[in-house]
Amino acid sequence: MTGAVRRLGPGDVAAMRDLNALYAAAFEDSETYRRDTPDDAWLARQLGKQAIILLVAECEGRIIGGLTAYELPKLEAARSEIYLYDLAVDAAHRRRGVATALIAELQHIAAETGAWAVFVQADYGDDPAVALYTKLGAREDVMHFDLPPLPRAKG
C-alpha cells in the first residue's frame, strides 16, 4: 500500500465525515452513512473515546480506506476484545493492500491495549471480505440476530 494509516482523534471531524462518505459509497448505503449527521460536537466527543477506534488510510491527502472498531471490556477475565465493525476501501484502491494495512494497524492497537482478540463479521455472498478475513484469521460460523430496543411499559 502506498500512503499512510492513522488513527482519527477529536480534531478529525472532517475526516470522519469523509470516512462516512466512503462507507456510504462502498456499502451503497447513503441513508445510514449520511454526511450531515451527527453534529460536529458529538462526533468530536466520540472521536476522543479510547474505546472507539477509527483508522483511515490516506494517499495524496485523500481518504482511500478506513475502519471503525470498538474495544469491548470483558468481565469473565481481565481483558478485552476488539470488534471490527466497518471496513471499506475506495473502489479505485482495492486489491493493493489497503484493507490488510488497516487491519494490521488494528491488530497492533489490540496488542498495545492487551486485547485478547479482534473479531469481525462478514455477510454470506461478500466473497472478497470472506477471503480477506480467512487469510488473516480463524473462521467461525455463527448466527447473528438483531434484537430491537423495547421501551419500558409505563405504570
pLDDT in tens, 71-94: 999 999 888 999 999 999 999 999
What values do phi and psi take at 133, rounded to 5? -70, -35
Measuring CA to CA, which residue among 62, 132, 67 is closest to residue 106? 67
pLDDT in tens, 26-39: 998 888 887 667 89
Residue 153 within a domain: no
Which range marks the domain in which residue 74 is found?
Answer: 4-136
Burial of 104 (0-12, 13-18, 19+ CB in 10 A): middle
Residue 84 within a domain: yes
| CATH classification at residue 64 | 3.40.630.30
C-alpha 87/C-alpha 68 separation (Å) is: 7
User: Taking the model in full, what pTM does it have?
Assistant: 0.86
Please tell me the total count of domains within the chain: 1
Residue 144 within a domain: no
